[in-house]
Amino acid sequence: MPNEGAAAACLLVLALLLGACSGAPSASGERAQAPSHPLILLSLDGFHPDYLDRGLSPRLQALADDGVRARWLNPSFPSKTFPNHYTVVTGLRPDRHGIVDNTMLDPLLGRFALHDRDAVGDGRWWGGEPLWVSARRAGLRSATLFWPGSEAAIGGYRPDRWLPYDAALSMSDRVDRVLAWLALPPARRPHLVTLYLEAVDTTGHLYGPDSAEVDGALAAVDAALGRLLDGLAEIGLTGAVNLVIVSDHGMAQVDPARTLVLEDLVDPSLVEIVGLSEILSFNPRPGRTAEAESALLAEREGLTCHRRTETPPQWRFGSHPRVPAIVCLLEEGWRVRRRERFNPWQDRSGGNRGAHGYDPLSPSMRALFVAHGPGLASGLLVDPFDNVHVYPLLAALLGIAPAPGDGDPAVTAAMLR
């Protein structure tokens, strides 16, 4: 075990170095009263709430038992990473904030993909007002260690401190960076910090949610959470931080035998392919709408397609101009491949074994919600709720007025101490 005093000293030195990179003060002329306790928003991407029952996450379980835990959190449609992360911090459904998938087309901006750094950093894609912008408008300081939207100037604002996403940055290094921010003197310490850990999602995709590898990822993520909690103790913030832990969606097992081939669904010459995952989206080529709809809207096993104006009402999806003309949803466990890229013999022995993006109301897509801290109730188990309601709770913990959105503060009011 390292010397605790030395570890604290190292954190302090790192904090002072990071302080030199502090962002500009808020452009807002009004300042909210600083919250008594910093808020950490932690995302465990792809963490299904039932994973807690495996007994591999003792630090997370302790927070859930002593704080607030939802039976589960309902993701918004589509149950994808970027749309749901941005919903959590805006309180808007994807059809309203405009991040309608991980891959999109915009008539003015072109194509968006989550690995395209230029698109991700372009504030024109990101509608609504994310939490760090609400905080900065109120004169509060924010720091984001990876969160969809945090790399862009939205409404003219960025977080005071932020980093471009770097999958190679280890979980321990991410935690140490957050601790260094929180070790800054109170006059410079961020009031809001976000932290993103994707190991459970990445492993679930590769090996499936029931795999031994996912069990290993659960233990590793819990160790990172323990490092965060122990580090807070070293810098004197035990019991002084509100911690809200969410996931964006769960994970389902994929059956390689349940594979659809795109070219069997529609002639690719009839459509522009916008997205090709658990959610398939298309824009018919000019003059080919009737042919494309005839092919795609036909009944078939494993897939259901809708015109954007006729999507199921529970999706609350289809009004934003970025929603393609035809949206298709795979049934759970199914997948789609291009014929020229699909070798069924090789693919059945490897490749992705887990997926999300299926119907958000499916039990496999359920997300995690745990909250713990001095501003939150203790020992409270709450019924499931939609993830749009997380944002008003976060705003309340920061002591700021929430921006208009789809979330209802009454849903989470009982969680506040």
Reference 82, options 145, 136, 126, 132; nearest CA is 126
Q: What are phi and psi of 51, to 5 degrees?
A: -60, -30
Under 8 Å between Cβ of 83 and 378: no
Locate tokens 């591999």: which residue? 56
Looking at 35-186, list the stretches that DSSP marks H as alpha helix, in order from N- to C-terminal side.
58-66, 81-90, 94-97, 117-120, 131-137, 171-182
| CA dist list (Å): 20 to 14, 48, 72, 179, 321 | 10, 39, 40, 16, 42
Token digits for 49?
């709430």
Residue 311 falls in the annotated catalytic set: no
Which is catalytic among the residues 81, 87, 90, 311?
Answer: 81
Encoded amino acid at 295, one letter: A
d(CA 360, CA 94): 13
| CA dist list (Å): 312 to 7, 87, 205, 389, 390 | 54, 19, 27, 21, 24
Residues annotated as part of the active site: 81
